[in-house]
Amino acid sequence: AGAATAAAPASAPSSGASASGYPALPTSNVADLFKAREAWGSKTATTVTAPLALGAVSPLPSDNIKPRKGFEGQPTVHPLEATPVAQLTAVPLDKIADAMKKLLAEREGWGTSPSKAAKAASRSAEAADCEAKLRDAASKGVILFASDSDNLSSKSNATLDALAKIAKGCSKGRIRVEGHTDSTGRASYNKSLSDRRAKAVAAYLANAGVANDRLEAVGYGQEKPVASNNTREGRAQNRRIEFTVVE
């Protein structure tokens, strides 16, 4: 008799649950699985009754809730602000022609001439450059006052003259002279002293040729320290004059 060969057992449909606890596949034959997959969606859907959740005694009731119409209470109504009345500027008869020419000239430049934002940015850059030069000159020099006084020391003249030269070269913006003190003494007195010192510096610059309408002075007292007031060196740094260019 010839040698016997062992044939693989035919795949039989499985039933029950797999070892993982999930429902077992109807067959383990690969070809049958692909065939079953191709048939997905071709059969009519059937209604499946879901089992109750663990511990539930009855299914949830059907959703018959109807949304309410409208809302409860009164609406909050904010009154509209009155539209301001247009302000008209009267133009004298003999100047109407010039006004129209100016308007038409501006209209021709729409979209071609530099925008207001670009001009503002340009002015801001020029102001920032002027401010940087003033602060640099002030940091390299000295601005000294007599103790507890707004009297400028003659040792400050060279620095103040250099500042005046820079200020006269700045064509745009106003120069704000800012006075600061340390925290020694009363805050109100320190603010008054810093204001008087700032005005003294502004007056020197005006006498040196800087236009008065381009100068302003303000005293902050001890409000804006740049160093600790607990050390002698820190207090010396806080007693200072600074320059800001505003437009």
pLDDT for residue 1: 43
Q: Which of 59-68, 130-139, 217-226 has the lowest mean pLDDT?
A: 59-68
Tell me, yes or no, whether 189 lies in a domain: yes
Tell me, yes or no, whether 132 lies in a domain: yes
Tell me, yes or no, whether 69 lies in a domain: no
Q: What is the pLDDT of residues 111-148, one digit of tens each?
A: 555 555 555 555 578 888 999 999 999 999 999 999 89
Tell me, yes or no, whether 50 lies in a domain: no
Domain that holds residue 163: 121-246
Tell me, yes or no, whether 79 lies in a domain: no
Tell me, yes or no, whether 177 lies in a domain: yes
Tell me, yes or no, whether 214 lies in a domain: yes
pTM of structure: 0.52
CATH of the domain at 205: 3.30.1330.60
SS3 content of the chain, % helix, strand, coil (to 5): 40, 10, 50
Tell me, yes or no, whether 222 lies in a domain: yes
Domain count within the chain: 1
pLDDT for residue 35: 76
* Pairwise CA distance, residues 192 & 181, whole Å: 10
Burial string for 208-235 (b: 16+ CB within 10 Å, else e) reads: eebeeebbbbebbbbeebeeeeeeeeeb
E-strand spans in the chain? 174-180, 215-221, 240-246
Structure tokens at 126: 């020029």
Question: Percent of the chain having pLDDT more than 90?
Answer: 45
